[in-house]
Chains A and B, each alone.
Chain A
C-alpha cells in the first residue's frame, strides 16, 4: 500500500483541466499512468544520493499549476532534499547526485544540455531564515533581474521592483525607503523581501523551504496569507514541519517518512500524496495517520 502513485479523484482531474498545461493524450479519466505530464513539475522515480548515502528514494510526484503543494514529514525524511532537487540546488553540494527524472513543463531539468542557471531563474526559492543581500531594498530586488539579463530601461526596472514588492505585500511599507538597507527591516518584512526578490526574475514556480519557521506567529500569518494570494499567479511548493500550516494553506500534501533499509541506511520515501483535506481527515496509509495523530515524529 505504500506506493508513490498519485491518487486522484474525479474532482481533481477537472481542476487540472483548468490549468494551462497541454494534455497530449486527452485521457482525462485515467489515473497517474497517463503519459502527459499533468503538473508544472513532475518527478519520476527520483532518488537523491550524497555520495554513497541514498537520502531519498523513488519519489514520483506531480505538482499542479497554481496550487500550493506541501511536503511534510519527520526530520530526516528528505523533504528538503526533494525540494532542493527541484531547482537543482543540490548541484552545489559536492558528491550530490540525482537519479530518475525531474521534468519542468515536460523538459528534463537534469539533462546534460540544461544549465542550472536557466532552471533556477524559472523556479525560485525562499529559505528558512530570511537572507536578503546587504544591499538596498531596491537593489535586492533588481539584482536577480539584472543577473538574468533584464533588458529594460531604468523606469521599467523600477516598475518591476514595485510590482514584485506589491506582490509580496511589502510595497506600502517600504515604498519610501527603497534605498535603505535590506537589513533595516524586521524578520517578517525581510522574508517578504526575499519572496519579492524571487518573484522579480519572473519564475512560475516558487519553492519555499520552511519559510515561516523563524518568524513570530503574526508574521507567519502574513506569509501564509501572501502564499494564498500568490498561488493565483505562481505554483508554490513548500516544505513545512508544521502540519497545521500545511493544513491551512496547501491544496495538496505529500507525506514523507524515513525508512531503515537492510544495510542500516536511513532513506526517505514518499508515503502518500493527495488532497490536503483528504490526507488530514482520512489518510489512506497507516503511517500517515500515525504521523498526523502524533504517534511519532
Chain B
C-alpha cells in the first residue's frame, strides 16, 4: 500500500446515513420527487386549461339563445313577396325582390343616400334620377357610389335586415346554458314581465357565426354586421405581404447561407436580422406609418397611377399595410429559410460544383429544391402570424369604418383582427357575440394555414 492511501484509515461510515437513516433519507428524496411530479402536472393542467378555457369562452359567446324583437318579421316580408314563409326564408328571395322590398319600405331620402353610398344596379338607378346622378358624380365631392361596384345580394339582404326587419337583440345567453336550459330561457322570454319590458320579443337560437355573417359587409349594427369586408381586406393585405416578403426573405437567406463570406458586413447583417426579429410589432407599424403612409404617399395612395381623386385618398392603403407586415415577418422568413438551407448536406453543393455548374445553378437546381419544404413551412407559419397581427396595422391606419370591399392594392382597408379589436372594445353585449364569431373565423383560417404547413413538412420529410 502506498503511504498516500493510508489516509483511508479514516472511517466515514458515521457521516453517511446507513440502515434506517438511509431509508429515511431516500424516502425524503423520493417524496420530494413525488411533489415535483404533482407540480408538473399542475403546470400542464394550467397550460391545457388555459387553452381550453379560451376556446370555451369564445365558443360560448358565439352561439346561444337570444331574445329578439323584430320591427317587421321576415316571414311577413316573404309572404308579401308572394312566397310561402314555411318554405323560404328572407335569404331565398331574389336580388330584385329584395330591392323591391327596400323600395317599398324606406323613405326616398334614405334610399337616395343608400344609392349614393353604393348603387344597386349597374345599368339603372332605383331612387335617384339620371340627371341628378350625373350632376353629383361630375362634381368635386362625388360620393363613393359613383365609382364603386354595385351591391351584391348579401349586401342588399343585410340592408333589408337593417332597415326593414330591424332586429333588436335585447338579451343574449351563452351556449352552455342555452343548450341545457333551453325551455327555462324560452319561458323567461315569453313571460309577462319580460314581454312588458320588451314587447314582441321572441326566443331564437342564434349562431352568430353563420354564412350570412361571413358574407355580409361591415355595419354599425351588431345584429346584422358581417366580416366580409374584413376577410377580404385581410386576404388582400396578406397577398401583398407574401409577394413582398417571400422572395426577399428567401433571397436574403440564400445570400447569407451560400454566398456571404464571414466578413464584418455580413456578420452585421446577420446580427441585425436577429435583432429585428425581437423588435415589438408596433414599432414596425410606426415605421410603416412614417415612411410608407406619409413619405411615400404618392406611391402608396395610388395617385401616381391616376387612381383616386377622392378627397379622402391617402397612403393608408392595402399596399402600405402589406409592405409593413412584410417587413415585420421578413426576419422570421429569413431565419427559417437559413435553417432549411443549412440542413441541406454539403455533399450536394460539392457535387454540383464538381460537375461544373456555377454556384447559382447548383443552388437553383439542387439546393433550393431540397430546402423548399423547410422554407415553405417557415414562410407559411410566418404568414399565419401576419394574419393575426393587429397593432402595426392600427398604427398604419386601418379604416375604422368601411363597407365597400377592397378593390385593389390602393384601397382603404380593414383586417379581421382589427375588426375583432373594434368589436371587443364596444361595451354592448351583442358586440361580444360577434367579436367571438369573428375570432372563430380567424382561428379557422389560422388552423387551415398551420395544418397546410404541418402537412407539407410531414409529406416532404417523409419523401426525403
Q: Which residues of A does B touch, CB under 8 Å? A: 115, 117-118, 145, 148-152, 156, 159-160, 162-163, 166-167, 169, 171, 201-202, 229, 232-233
Contacting pair A166 B7 (CB below 8 A): yes
Residue of A with least CB distance to B17: A149
A163 to B15: give the CA distance in the assembly, Å.
Answer: 14
A118 to B10: give the CA distance in the assembly, Å.
Answer: 22
A130 to B39: give the CA distance in the assembly, Å.
Answer: 34
List residues of B (96-111) whose CB comes within 8 Å of A's CBs: none
Contacting pair A115 B30 (CB below 8 A): yes
A-B contact pairs, 24 of them (CB 8 A): A115-B26, A115-B30, A117-B26, A117-B29, A118-B22, A118-B26, A148-B16, A148-B17, A149-B17, A149-B21, A149-B22, A149-B25, A150-B15, A156-B15, A159-B10, A160-B12, A163-B7, A163-B8, A166-B7, A167-B8, A169-B4, A202-B12, A202-B16, A232-B1
A159 to B25: give the CA distance in the assembly, Å.
Answer: 23
Interface size on B, residues (CB 8 A): 19
Contacting pair B5 A151 (CB below 8 A): no
In the complex, what residues of A have CB within 8 A of residue B5's CB? 166-167, 229, 232-233
Q: Given the known A-B contacts A117-B26, A118-B22, A163-B8, are A151 and B2 also in contact in the complex, defined by CB atoms under 8 Å?
A: no
Residue of A with least CB distance to B1: A232
Contacting pair A229 B2 (CB below 8 A): yes
Q: Tell me if B13 counts as interface (CB < 8 A to partner A).
A: yes
5 further interface pairs, Cβ-Cβ under 8 Å (given A151-B14, A166-B5, A167-B8) = A151-B17, A160-B12, A162-B7, A202-B16, A233-B5
A279 to B17: give the CA distance in the assembly, Å.
Answer: 41
Least distance between A42 CB and chain B CB atoms (Å): 22
Least distance between B7 CB and chain A CB atoms (Å): 5
Residue of A with least CB distance to B22: A118
Residue of B with least CB distance to A162: B7
In the complex, what residues of B have CB within 8 A of residue A166's CB? 4-5, 7
- In the A-B complex, the 9 residue pairs with the smallest Cβ-Cβ separation, listed nearest first, are A152-B15, A149-B25, A149-B17, A166-B4, A163-B7, A151-B15, A115-B26, A202-B12, A117-B26
Least distance between A230 CB and chain B CB atoms (Å): 9
Least distance between A167 CB and chain B CB atoms (Å): 6
Residue of B with least CB distance to A201: B16
In the complex, what residues of B have CB within 8 A of residue A151's CB? 14-17
Residue of B with least CB distance to A232: B1
Q: Which residues of B does A touch, CB under 8 Å? A: 1-2, 4-5, 7-8, 10, 12-17, 21-22, 25-26, 29-30
A169 to B26: give the CA distance in the assembly, Å.
Answer: 31
Residue of A with least CB distance to B2: A229
* Partner of B13 from A159, A201, A202, A232 at Cβ < 8 Å: A202
A229 to B4: give the CA distance in the assembly, Å.
Answer: 11
A156 to B8: give the CA distance in the assembly, Å.
Answer: 13
Contacting pair B16 A150 (CB below 8 A): yes
Least distance between A215 CB and chain B CB atoms (Å): 22
In the complex, what residues of A have CB within 8 A of residue B14's CB? 151
* Partner of B8 from A171, A201, A233 at Cβ < 8 Å: A233
In the complex, what residues of B have CB within 8 A of residue A229's CB? 2, 5
Least distance between B32 CB and chain A CB atoms (Å): 12
In the complex, what residues of A have CB within 8 A of residue B12's CB? 152, 160, 202
Least distance between B306 CB and chain A CB atoms (Å): 68
Least distance between A115 CB and chain B CB atoms (Å): 5
Residue of A with least CB distance to B24: A149
A72 to B310: give the CA distance in the assembly, Å.
Answer: 90
A74 to B396: give the CA distance in the assembly, Å.
Answer: 70
In the complex, what residues of B have CB within 8 A of residue A162's CB? 7
Residue of B with least CB distance to A160: B12
* Partner of A163 from B10, B26, B30 at Cβ < 8 Å: B10
In the complex, what residues of B have CB within 8 A of residue A115's CB? 26, 30
A171 to B17: give the CA distance in the assembly, Å.
Answer: 26
Residue of A with least CB distance to B6: A166
Least distance between B41 CB and chain A CB atoms (Å): 20
A232 to B2: give the CA distance in the assembly, Å.
Answer: 10
A54 to B20: give the CA distance in the assembly, Å.
Answer: 37
A4 to B150: give the CA distance in the assembly, Å.
Answer: 94
In the complex, what residues of B have CB within 8 A of residue A152's CB? 12, 15
In the complex, what residues of A have CB within 8 A of residue B15's CB? 150-152, 156, 160
Residue of A with least CB distance to B4: A166
In the complex, what residues of B have CB within 8 A of residue A156's CB? 15
In the complex, what residues of B have CB within 8 A of residue A150's CB? 15-16
A118 to B18: give the CA distance in the assembly, Å.
Answer: 10
A166 to B17: give the CA distance in the assembly, Å.
Answer: 24
In the complex, what residues of B have CB within 8 A of residue A163's CB? 7-8, 10
In the complex, what residues of A have CB within 8 A of residue B16's CB? 145, 148-151, 201-202
In the complex, what residues of B have CB within 8 A of residue A118's CB? 22, 26
Least distance between B280 CB and chain A CB atoms (Å): 35
A167 to B9: give the CA distance in the assembly, Å.
Answer: 12
A171 to B4: give the CA distance in the assembly, Å.
Answer: 10
A232 to B4: give the CA distance in the assembly, Å.
Answer: 13
A19 to B5: give the CA distance in the assembly, Å.
Answer: 19
Residue of A with least CB distance to B25: A149
A202 to B7: give the CA distance in the assembly, Å.
Answer: 14
A233 to B15: give the CA distance in the assembly, Å.
Answer: 19
In the complex, what residues of B have CB within 8 A of residue A160's CB? 12, 15
Counting chain B CB atoms within 10 Å of each CB, the highest count among A149, A163, A201 belongs to A149
Least distance between B33 CB and chain A CB atoms (Å): 10
